[in-house]
Structure 1
Amino acid sequence: MGMPSPLPVRDGVGATRLAVPSDGPWPSVAAYMVERFFHLDPERLLRRFDRGEIVAIDGSALTRRTPLGVHDFVWYYREPPVEKEIPFEAEILHQDLDLVVIDKPHFLPTTPGGKYLQNSALVRLRNALGNPDLTPIHRLDRATAGLLMFSARPVTRGAYQLLFEKREVEKVYEAVSLLPEDWDPLAPALGGSAFPLVHRNHIEKLRGNVRVQVDPAREPNAETLIELLDFDDRVLHTLLRPHSGRMHQLRVHLSERGAGILNDGFYPTLLPEAPDDFTKPLQLLARELRFTDPLSGEPREFVTRRVLQDAPATR
């Protein structure tokens, strides 16, 4: 169980928890936070202490003079950023007492972070359903569209999270890539391997890096089965069955096979950050989820209603 917040969910957004050092060169918690958040206006931050907006685990307000060593954590609400509206809506595919499954559009983040707060799937869904207990059971990259599952009740959340931890959820994706230069329509293959093929490597997310790092010297910790769906004279359409769930795994695996996903600004080449081009979504879709319900024992299956815009026309 995570540490409970002393502040309730507000406008669909939970309070942020910050760990505070027990000692150091700062005379107070406020001084530490001013240095920690150096990019913010310090006087504006200090006024939040004056208004009682920075609280301890018991909900009591800290002051500008609260010393280090009194509290291990503090909580506060993030000040809403000026957000660019994401002009796409998630569709609710399933809702019951314990689970909510949505079809997430491209560009919408799963949870609040960075430039996005209200424009996140979690906050939009909490506000739409009036349920502050909604919590994502797994994640999708902001750029990826498709199936996303949420827990609706804390009492049953752990049972569903355990399914993902034990890899007992069958996840199926599809992707569209530019046709590799060495593509042979008479003998379809990627990176010298005929379909279906399995790609394995070791993926690690390093703090401060937006891309993951692949270490060929280490034991593989990421595995994907790649199957051929279709192709035309421009693009390749593949079905992806990840055995593991590493960050950016599918994007990396197709890129390493010479078939980087269409409109991917990270792999194989990291492109300069630019405003979203809503006409060019990443061509990656979380297509299917299957598992045995841990509460009822019944099989569950969910399938996206979305399609990838650059997929080959059905022959």
Structure 2
Amino acid sequence: MTTPFDPARQQASTVCLPPGVWATVLDCLCDHFKGISREQWLDRFARGRVLDAQGQAIVAELPYRRGMRLHYFREVANEKVIPVQEEILHIDEHLVVADKPHFLPVTPTGEYVEHTLLRRLIRRLDNPHLVPLHRIDRHTAGLVLFSANPHSRSAYQRLFPERRIDKHYQAIAAALPERAFPLVHRSRLVHGEPFFRMHEVEGADNSETHACVLEKNGELWRYGLSPVTGKTHQLRVHMAALGAGICNDPFYPQLLNEQDDYAKPLKLLAQSLRFEDPLTGEMRYFESRLKLDW
């Protein structure tokens, strides 16, 4: 007997059916998502993984209607297992704080759906309302803050765009004895080629990082990094621009076409978060239990 699928345990993607001349919803979805086979869609319909706007499972033969709003659940066939384990550091009515290991994505993306921090925590805590309040790269380890309550979510979400939260990272990279620390690095970051890599260009600054030296160990130094802005890969690009790409970085300063090597993680850690709680006014401080070794 097939176990009923409970959509409340996962987060659905949403699509509004575009204009066209399809006979059924299935025909439209097959044309719209060419990377997903007709057989995969039929299997999803059969398992109740395509829902209408009210969250009810629909059949593949449902007549097409322009603008129809549907929910579906992303799946990756034979998804690769990521052999790392997250740790939950804090839980309350409003927040969950987790320590994310290297290589684990925060949210479903590309070839990763079930093996993501978000999906793992939803299953562990039995809370389908979890939403990450910020993101860190798949290659980066450390703290990720989640909203656990839709009613208070917006208050915590505003902390990040309004820059009312202090984020501190550690990185291990080549020594920079020719530079004076602490320093501030500002630049304009834009998406480059391939699309997932960022690079610095001329123009008004849109990124800012404060850097200091925490420890020296021969040709390698441990740096303290505090991003004022939150651009994609900001710390990785800025360290490479300073002349000290972070150890084991597969993207910067050069793109390396290598598979994940769990013995050589990126030496970047989201080490601490500090903020005034928008609901209570108390100061909150969270610190990662993970460490960067030399």
Counterpart of 1:297 (choices 255, 276, 281) is 281
Distance 1:279 1:30, change over 3 A: same
What are the residue-to-residue correspondences of 1:150-161 with 2, within 5 Å?
Answer: 150-161=146-157
Structure 1: which amino acid aligns with 2:127?
A: N
Match of 2:181 in 1: 195
The one-letter code sitting in structure 2 at the alignment partner of 1:306 is L
Relative to structure 1, the CA distance from residue 70 to residue 175 in structure 2 (aligned partners, 3 Å threshold; closer, same or farther) is closer
Give the deviation of 1:249 after TM superposition.
0.4
What residue number does 1:4 align with? none
Asked if residue 222 in structure 1 is aligned to residue 189 in structure 2, the reply is no
User: How many Å separate the matches in 2 of 1:171 and 1:49?
Assistant: 43
Of 29, 36, 41, which residue of structure 1 is paired with 2:32? 36
Aligned to 1:279: 263
**1:74-100 Cα distance to aligned partner (Å, 9 max, x none):** 111223532222222111111111111
Q: TM-score scaled to structure 1, two decimals?
A: 0.84
Q: Which amino acid aligns with 1:197?
A: L
Q: What residue number does 2:17 align with?
A: 20
Alpha-carbon distance in structure 2 between the residues aligned to 1:102 and 1:47: 34
Equivalent residues of 1:82, 1:115 under 8 A apart: no
**C-alpha deviation, 1:275, in angstroms:** 2.4
Count the aligned residue pairs: 288
* Contact 2:213–2:224, Cα closer than 8 Å, also in 1: yes
- 1-side partners of 2:240 and 2:67: how far apart? 50
> Aligned letter for 1:100?
V
**1:5-84 alignment, distance < 5 Å:** 8-10=7-9, 13-21=10-18, 23-24=19-20, 26=22, 28-46=24-42, 48-49=44-45, 53-60=49-56, 61=58, 63-64=60-61, 66-71=63-68, 73-84=69-80
1:313 alignment partner in structure 2 = none
Contiguous gaps of at least 5 residues in structure 1: 1-6, 311-315
- After superposition, the CA RMSD in angstroms is 2.2
Show the counterpart of 1:171: 167
Cα deviation, residue 232, structure 1: 2.4
**Contact conserved, 1:146 with 1:285, CA < 8 A, in 2?**
yes
1:136 correspondence with 2:135: no
Deviates most, 83-92 or 153-162: 83-92
Distance in 2, Cα, partners of 1:57 & 1:207: 37
Of residues 81-90 and 102-111 in structure 1, the stretch that sits farther from structure 2 once superposed is: 81-90
Q: Deviations over 1:2-25 (max 9, x none)?
A: xxxxx8333xx212212322x246
**Structure 1 residues 37-46 or 104-113, which shifts more?**
37-46
1:81-121: CA deviation from partner (whole Å, max 9, x where unpaired) = 32222222111111111111111111111112222222111
CA contact (8 A) 1:52 1:63 kept: no
Q: Secondary structure at the match of 1:154?
A: coil
When the two structures are superposed, what TM-score results if normalisation uses the length of structure 2? 0.90
Moved more, 106-115 or 47-56: 47-56
1:291–1:301 contact (8 Å) kept in structure 2? yes
- Going from structure 1 to structure 2, the CA distance change for 1:44 and 1:301 (only over 3 Å counts) comes to closer
Q: 1:68 to 1:285 in 2, by over 3 A?
A: same
Cα deviation for residue 198 of structure 1 reads: 0.7
Identity %: 43
Give 2:190's aligned residue. Answer: 204
SS of structure 2 residue aligned to 1:9: helix
**Aligned partner (choices 96, 99, 112) of residue 100 of structure 1:** 96
Per mean C-alpha deviation after superposition, the further-off stretch among 40-49 and 293-302 is: 40-49
1:56/1:62 contact within 8 Å kept: no
For the residues of structure 1 that align with 2:204 and 2:88, how far apart are their CA atoms? 39
In 2, the alpha carbon distance for the partners of 1:25 and 1:229 equals 63
Task: Go from structure 1 to structure 2 and tell me whether the alpha carbon gap of 1:154 and 1:206 turns closer, same or farther (over 3 Å shift).
Answer: farther
2:103 touches 2:139 (CA, 8 Å); kept in 1?
yes
> Aligned letter for 1:19?
C
Shift of 1:177: 0.9
Gaps of 5+ in 2: 1-5
C-alpha distance in 1 between matches for 2:80 and 2:233: 24
Aligned residues of 2:122 and 2:130 also touching (Cα < 8 A): yes
- Cα separation, 2, equivalents of 1:125 and 1:201: 35
Aligned to 2:113: 117
Q: 1:253 to 1:19 in 2, by over 3 A?
A: farther
Task: State the shift of 1:195 in Å.
Answer: 0.8
Query: Higher mean Cα deviation, 36-45 or 153-162?
Result: 36-45
